[in-house]
């Protein structure tokens, strides 16, 4: 046994500290945003929502499954015309408020199941669908709708949960996680590629992100998964660990490697033919 390993074992056998320092609580959403920013997302300095996906004031952006509006608001602040769509009326209301405060040259919000999208043919130069495909009954029809509303040469940003992180959720997440309106399918990488290419899109890049969130959700279920109550010591400790990791000398490199090993999401940038 190496001397280093022996020292490590002696350290682990030590009695716990009687009076540990109080835990500093850091907002997981802020840590998650910082993690995304390190991965090239939400870069206002380059007007890129993600690597290879710039947004300008010339663009018409559709954000399908807009959630609380963070993505739409970023597009708005780039000066784009923004069309936000979600099935949840509360999400649509929240996104409308955020867009009203943004720098969007114009915007509209729609409550819709996206079947079909309430948008004319061929008007969108940027098409965004993040963490949506895993919820829909017919992914091919959904992608076809995205292609319908896009202009020639439009860019697409599509993300779904990665199969590695979804495998970890199996047996941990409650049954409802795998039922409508939640995740009704898991996309292997090849399946997602085929779905996008069969719709006539050319894949320009593939990436992965968010080991932080993959672990966070696993720990969330382990703590009982009580609604969106995130104030739990296990979750707080994990968030603080990642927060300090990103500030350490080799933290960003470690985070990138872990993202490749078990990302929360697989991300594709694709383009419609000109």
- Give the tens place of pLDDT for each residue, 196-211: 999 999 999 999 999 9
Per-residue model confidence as pLDDT tens digits over 51-107: 999 999 999 999 999 999 999 999 999 999 999 999 999 999 999 999 999 999 999
What SS3 string covers 133-184?
A: HHHCCCHHHHHHHHHHCEEEEEEEEEEEECHHHHHHHCCCCCHHHHCCCCCC
Rounded to the nearest 10 degrees, the angle between the axes of helix 28-38 and helix 233-247 is 30
Banded model confidence at residue 224, pLDDT cuts 50, 70, 90: confident
pLDDT reading at 25 higher than 70? no
The C-alpha atoms of residue 132 and residue 223 are separated, in whole angstroms, by 26
pLDDT reading at 20 higher than 50? no
Which H or E run includes 257? helix 251-261
> What is the distance between the terminal CA atoms of the chain, rounded to a whole angstrom?
62
pLDDT of residue 226: 64
Task: Give percent of the chain with pLDDT exceeding 90.
Answer: 74
The C-alpha atoms of residue 60 and residue 125 are separated, in whole angstroms, by 5
pLDDT of residue 39: 86
pLDDT of residue 72: 97
Tokens of residue 1, six digits: 């046994």
Give the global pTM.
0.89
* Per-residue CA distances from 260 to 16, 206, 255 (Å): 34, 11, 9
pLDDT of residue 231: 80
Banded model confidence at residue 143, pLDDT cuts 50, 70, 90: very high
């Amino acid at each position: 046994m190496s001397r280093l390993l022996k020292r490590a074992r002696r350290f682990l056998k030590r009695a716990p500290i009687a009076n540990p320092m109080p835990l500093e609580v850091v907002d997981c959403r802020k840590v998650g945003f910082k993690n995304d920013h390190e991965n090239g997302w939400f870069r206002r300095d380059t007007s890129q929502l993600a690597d290879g996906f710039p947004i300008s004031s010339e663009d018409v952006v559709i954000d399908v499954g807009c959630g609380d509006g963070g993505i739409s608001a970023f597009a708005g602040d780039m000066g784009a015309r923004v069309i936000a769509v979600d099935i949840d009326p509360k999400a649509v209301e929240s996104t409308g408020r955020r867009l009203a405060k943004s720098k969007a040259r114009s915007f509209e919000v729609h409550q819709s199941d996206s079947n079909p999208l309430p948008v004319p043919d061929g008007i969108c130069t940027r098409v965004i669908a993040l963490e949506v495909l895993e919820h829909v009954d017919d992914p091919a029809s959904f992608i076809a709708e995205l292609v319908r509303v896009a202009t020639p040469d439009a860019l697409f940003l599509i993300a779904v949960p990665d199969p590695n992180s979804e495998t970890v959720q199996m047996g941990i997440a409650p049954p409802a996680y795998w039922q409508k309106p939640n995740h009704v399918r898991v996309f292997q990488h090849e399946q997602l590629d085929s779905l996008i290419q069969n719709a006539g899109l050319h894949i320009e890049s593939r990436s992965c992100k968010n080991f932080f969130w993959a672990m966070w959700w696993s720990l969330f279920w382990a703590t009982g998964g009580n609604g969106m109550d995130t104030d739990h010591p296990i979750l707080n400790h994990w968030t603080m660990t990642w927060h300090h990791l990103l500030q350490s000398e080799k933290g960003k490199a470690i985070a990138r490697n872990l993202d490749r090993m078990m990302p929360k999401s697989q991300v594709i940038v694709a383009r419609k033919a000109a």
